[in-house]
Structure 1
Amino acid sequence: METRGQKIWYYVKCILWLIGLFFLSQVPTLLATIVGKFANKASIPVQVGIGVVWLIIFTAIIIFFIKFFNKYSKEGFKKINIGDGVVVFLYYLVGLGITGIGTVLMQVVYGDTTTENQAVIETLFGADQSMVTVLCMTISIAIGAPILEELLFRGIPVAFFGDKMPMWVIGIVTSLLFSAGHLSTNIISFIIYFAMGMLMFLTYRTRKNIGDSMLFHFFQNGLAAFMMLKMYLDAIN
């Protein structure tokens, strides 16, 4: 039986791991903004080389997160059939409704047409950005965020704490952290991200398959990322 000191140390270690993983999850986006400044003045072969190096680092981080999750999780990944995908898509439609209502309220109350997080992302798709930055950001948002954020805010916390505290507590705490990590500048935007976090957590726990919430997150981010990519391409042509 664990002593009180051992339990406390376990929680401390898990929290330190989550903090470290959070910073690691930010590396692809941070590198995309940094390399973009050099790529603007570089030749095409150098830009391609920069993009390849970024992609290698990005892939290594994804693999590390997945292996880390598989090491500590008792659930792992399950297959997603067509019926499962339909259910996830219905969750996504609910999320669209929440986002839509929240955005309207935010515009009425604060005069903001988008969240601060979205505004920051859109600047990284501006016509003044290099193609390397924009492509790296597209991959980060459409693929990286659904995998890394679902493991960081849903899968790994459940693997760490699922046997030690009620699942609803994990859902609320991780959703609060998820919202806090998305640059909420007013209570409505904070509630939007919190609600989306809870909805993704519910999607995950419905079948206890982290792949389901990753698919939800892909629906959420993928379309937005490719729309911003299209606007960028239209702007530079």
Structure 2
Amino acid sequence: MKETNKVSKWIKFVLVNGLICLGFFLLSQVPSFLSAVFLVLYGKKIVFLDVFITVVWLVISFFITRYIWKYYKEKNQEDKIQLTLKDVGISFGYFLTGSLITFIGGLSMEFIYGNSESQNDEMIRMLINKSPSNWFILLMVIQLTLLAPILEELVIRGIPKVTLFKDSPNWFMLIMTSLFFSSLHQSTNIISFLIYAALGGVMCHAYLRRGRIIDSMMVHFFNNLLATIAFLFLI
């Protein structure tokens, strides 16, 4: 009887917290969804319309981010936003590790598949290069360099850590969240999938090192900033 109660409690725990994680993940996708919807409204040669759309998107994104972060802070009050130069340097070291993984993985993809760019990167590059408005480019830059690092770290690592994986060993959470992170980035082959999974693992380890979500956000920020610069000026 006790074993049955334990199993039912475990199932209830997984279902409830799984739905919480799913709900916050879907909410975090609203800014990306809106940017895709708003894309058709840009480039009408009406500057006011472009500015208005961008401001609306910023306001909605701000309140969504604030709400998700507030929930995470309520569940994990010990996680404080404290950064020293040493912390930034360590995060940059994690970023360099991720960059090395990406570089080696890119060479492997080029050698085996004849293309070092993932479908995810290709889609972002196309959106930026074929943007109908500079205001949309600004929106994309903000989304890639600021919004994505904050929201993705919160809903992929932060909230799962304090809900679904709060009683799980860190190694299990690292594996599961890294696989989920990779599945979101439209990998077209096993190498690109492993690259994103490894990057997810690097970011998760940065978070788990001292339990501060700001650390993995910094790693994510450095990674996306480099990629955005490449999309804007190098590709």
TM-score (norm 2): 0.92
Q: 1:3 to 1:74 in 2, by over 3 A?
A: farther
Mapped pair 1:183 → 2:186: yes
Q: Equivalent residue for 2:100?
A: 97
Structure 2 partner of 1:18: 21
Deviation per CA, 1:168-208: give whole Å up to 9, x if none: 11110000000001101100000000000111111111111
Give distance in 2, aligned partners of 1:100 and 1:171: 22
Tell me the secondary structure at the aligned position of residue 200 of structure 1: helix
Q: How does 1:1-237 map onto structure 2 within 5 Å?
A: 3-41=6-44, 43-230=46-233
Shift of residue 20, structure 1, vs aligned partner? 1.9
Q: CA deviation at 1:42?
A: 5.0
Shift in Å, 1:35: 1.1
Q: Compared with structure 1, are the counterparts of its residues 34 and 231 closer, same or farther at alpha carbon in structure 2 (3 Å cutoff)?
A: farther
Indicate conservation of the 8 Å contact 1:98/1:195, yes or no.
yes
Rounded Cα–Cα distance in structure 2 between residues aligned with 1:92 and 1:170: 20
User: Retained in 2: the 8 A contact 1:200–1:213?
Assistant: yes
Query: What residue in structure 2 maps to residue 235 of structure 1?
Result: none
Displacement of 1:228 after TM fit? 2.8
CA contact (8 A) 1:36 1:132 kept: no
Inter-partner Cα distance in structure 1 for 2:234 and 2:41: 23
CA distance in 2, matches of 1:31, 1:219: 25
- Give the residue type in structure 2 aligned to 1:177: F
Q: Percent identity?
A: 37
Structure 2 vs 1, CA of residues 163 and 212 (structure 1 numbering), >3 Å: closer, same or farther? same
Q: Tell me, in whole angstroms, the C-alpha distance in 2 between the residues paired with 1:50 and 1:42.
A: 13
> 2 CA distance for matches of 1:163 and 1:134?
38
- Quote the Cα distance in structure 2 between the aligned partners of 1:21 and 1:163: 16
What is the number of equivalent residue pairs in this alignment?
A: 232
Task: Work out the CA distance in 2 between the residues paired with 1:191 and 1:77.
Answer: 31
Distance 1:50 1:74 in 2: 35
- Quick one: which amino acid aligns to residue 51 of structure 2? V
User: CA–CA distance in 2 between the matches of 1:56 and 1:74?
Assistant: 26
The DSSP-based 3-state class of the residue aligned with 2:129 is: coil
**Structure 1: 5+ residue stretches without partners:** 233-237
